[in-house]
Amino acid sequence: MAQNTKFCGSAEQMAKLHAIIEEYRSVPGCLMHILQEAQAIFGYLPIEVQTVIADGLGLSLSDVYGVVTFYSQFSLQPKGKNRISVCLGTACYVKGSEKILNEVEKELSIKCGECTEDGLFSIDSCRCVGACGLAPVMMINEDVYGKLTPDMVKGILERYRKEEETKE
């Protein structure tokens, strides 16, 4: 999956990354740990970050990218200010949560796993948030929305957009 947003890591974040690499570079098998730490710093692992890690450890970018794409815990896309998570667990799925996910994707013009260009929203799917009684369920940040129908999606997203506008 190609990276579609501009990297905006700060000098401070980069310094932290370099410190982590320096600390662990001599430990055998340190790549996984460094990737986890890097994702904690930047929220995701863009090419700029992976290049620094590859150079720091004397690995090729292709080796690092192979590991990053192998594990689902790593993300190549930044997360939005508002993280949408649509439950695709069994109960939600049979209650039509796929349609909810499709609607969210359509509304934001991005795919699951991606982030909008303005950085306001990102979409992920998850497996059960423990609210099966409310299926189909979607979470935005810590807010839970249950008993959803596709036509409710637009209004919910609008709330977060408005919230952002009032902040500005």
Binding site for another protein (CB under 8 A): 1-3, 47, 50, 59-66, 69-70
Q: Six-digit token pair at 64?
A: 């690092």
Minimum Å gap between C-beta 63 and another protein is 6
Q: Where in the chain does DSSP place strands (E)?
A: 82-87, 121-126, 138-140, 143-145
Comparing CB distances to another protein, the nearer of 70 and 142 is 70
Minimum Å gap between C-beta 31 and another protein is 13
Query: What is the amino acid identity at position 133?
Result: G
Question: For residues 154 and 92, what is the distance between their CA atoms, to the nearest angstrom?
Answer: 19
Minimum Å gap between C-beta 54 and another protein is 8
Give the position of tokens 């991606």. 114
Comparing CB distances to another protein, the nearer of 66 and 130 is 66
Collapsing DSSP to helix, strand or coil, 82 comes out as: strand
Comparing CB distances to another protein, the nearer of 67 and 156 is 67
Minimum Å gap between C-beta 77 and another protein is 12
Of the candidates 87, 76, 71, which has an alpha carbon nearest to the alpha carbon of residue 137?
87
Tally DSSP H helices, then E strands, for the chain.
7, 4
Comparing CB distances to another protein, the nearer of 74 and 132 is 74
